[in-house]
């Protein structure tokens, strides 16, 4: 009998639409001959309000690749009937409420295997301060950074100028101000002066309680895909180039604003170094199954800095993660098969 794969997508996150497109690509891959012999697909859609829905609605969202006109109704704790028939879940949810360990906790309690990182790896990989602590502990190279809670930014007018002084002293300009728990560059700003820093802190604080401030560097941006559980493998390295100030939301999602080079024309030694750091980053946060690791190469100094890990990276037909594996010799449908098998193995 075939393995019932529960494709869990959408989600209460700013990256809802990307998730739908990732899920549609995975659904397509499950229909290829080899996969169709092994797997049966059950799509389960999580509405923007958090309600789970299966059946025709989930199928049509996948087909249309756009959210339905009406929000989900019913109770948050009512799951569609087919959710009880799943052998292995494939959560392809990006950002908060899905990539962060919350859904992974629910699936763990359900005692059903699932693709990707568990609770710890997901939570560590979502929170930029937590991940950086783990990376530092593992001795991985990173830019100087500082963490701050939102109450320091909002609650007291005498604390705020002192905080800005501290940032100027410890980090300097330019710096990047980021909400700790987001993705797709949402809420991130680059600050080159005091007034910009103040605005950036206020902006980031509107998204998250936890804020990170990093030294801004001028570097080439490369990404490496990791696949596996305890002995993860690294893909070829890809590189991104763009003409905007940084790789912000608009550059990421506007057709033609960024170019991907796969593989990256990095010097051989750096290429290998990036692959090694990517694997170590994966292990440092206890990731499983898949991750995309974002790394900076500062050409002027020859230094490599680990930026971040994404435990549920974009998985559309044109996303970096599957394209990197394609270039490494694993086709999209084969990649989906491997991820499901890794999910099953991890839970045995």
Q: Which residues bind Mg ion (CB under 5 A)?
A: 183, 294, 308, 310
Q: Taking the CB of residue 217, how many other CB atoms lie within 10 A of it?
A: 17
Token couple for 15: 């990256």
Residues 121-160 that bind ligand ATP (CB under 6 A): 143
Local structure of residue 114 (DSSP, 8 states): B
Given a contact cutoff of 8 angstroms between Cβ atoms, the answer to whether 270 and 297 are in contact is yes
Helices (H), the chain: 16-30, 33-38, 55-64, 102-110, 119-126, 128-137, 150-154, 159-170, 194-205, 249-253, 268-284, 320-328, 332-346
Q: Nearer to Mg ion by C-beta: 190 or 194?
A: 190
**Residues 287, 122: Cα–Cα separation, whole Å:** 7
310 binds ligand ATP per the rule CB under 6 A: yes
Q: Nearer to ligand ATP by C-beta: 216 or 333?
A: 216
238 binds ligand ATP per the rule CB under 6 A: no
What is the distance in angstroms between the CA of the first residue and the CA of the last residue of the chain? 19
CA 160 and chain centroid, separation: 31
Q: Nearer to ligand ATP by C-beta: 19 or 307?
A: 307
Mapping DSSP to helix (H, G, I), strand (E, B) and coil, where does residue 82 land? helix
Mapping DSSP to helix (H, G, I), strand (E, B) and coil, where does residue 260 land? strand
Residues 203-222 that bind ligand ATP (CB under 6 A): 214-217, 221
**Residues 186, 144: Cα–Cα separation, whole Å:** 21
Minimal distance, residue 281 CB to Mg ion, in Å = 12
184 binds ligand ATP per the rule CB under 6 A: yes
13 binds ligand ATP per the rule CB under 6 A: no
Q: Nearer to ligand ATP by C-beta: 40 or 168?
A: 168
Minimal distance, residue 184 CB to Mg ion, in Å = 6
43 binds ligand ATP per the rule CB under 6 A: no
Minimal distance, residue 34 CB to Mg ion, in Å = 29
188 binds ligand ATP per the rule CB under 6 A: yes
Binding site for ligand ATP (CB under 6 A): 143, 176, 178, 182-185, 188, 214-217, 221, 246-247, 294, 307-308, 310
């Amino acid at each position: 009998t075939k393995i019932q794969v529960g494709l869990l997508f959408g989600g209460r996150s700013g990256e809802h639409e990307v998730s739908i497109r990732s899920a549609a690509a995975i659904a397509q891959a499950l229909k290829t001959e080899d996969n169709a012999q092994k797997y049966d697909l059950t799509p389960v859609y999580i509405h923007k309000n958090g309600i789970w829905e299966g059946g025709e609605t989930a199928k049509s969202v996948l087909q249309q690749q756009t959210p339905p006109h009406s929000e989900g109704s019913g109770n948050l704790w009512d799951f569609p009937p087919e959710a009880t028939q799943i052998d292995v879940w494939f959560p392809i949810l990006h950002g908060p409420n899905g990539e962060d360990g919350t859904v992974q906790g629910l699936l763990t309690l359900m005692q059903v295997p699932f693709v990707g990182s568990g609770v710890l790896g997901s939570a560590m990989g979502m929170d930029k301060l937590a991940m950086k602590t783990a990376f530092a502990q593992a001795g991985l190279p990173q830019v100087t950074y500082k963490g701050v809670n939102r109450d320091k930014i909002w609650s007291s007018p005498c604390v705020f100028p002192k905080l800005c002084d501290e940032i100027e002293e410890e980090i300097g300009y330019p710096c990047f101000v980021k909400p700790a728990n987001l993705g797709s560059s949402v809420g991130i700003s680059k600050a080159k002066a005091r007034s910009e820093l103040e605005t950036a802190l206020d902006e980031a604080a509107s998204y998250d309680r936890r804020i990170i401030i990093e030294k801004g560097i001028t570097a080439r941006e490369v990404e490496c895909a990791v696949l596996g559980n305890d002995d993860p493998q690294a893909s070829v390295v890809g590189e991104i180039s763009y003409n905007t100030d940084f790789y912000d939301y608009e550059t990421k999602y506007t057709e033609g604003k960024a170019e991907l080079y796969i593989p990256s024309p990095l010097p051989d030694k750096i290429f290998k170094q990036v692959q090694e750091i990517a694997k170590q980053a994966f292990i440092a946060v206890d990731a499983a199954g898949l991750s995309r690791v974002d790394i900076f190469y500062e050409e002027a100094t020859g230094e490599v800095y680990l930026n971040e890990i994404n435990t549920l990276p974009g998985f559309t037909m044109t996303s970096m993660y599957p394209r990197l594996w394609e270039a490494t010799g694993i086709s999209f449908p084969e990649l989906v098969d491997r991820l499901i098998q890794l999910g099953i193995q991890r839970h045995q």
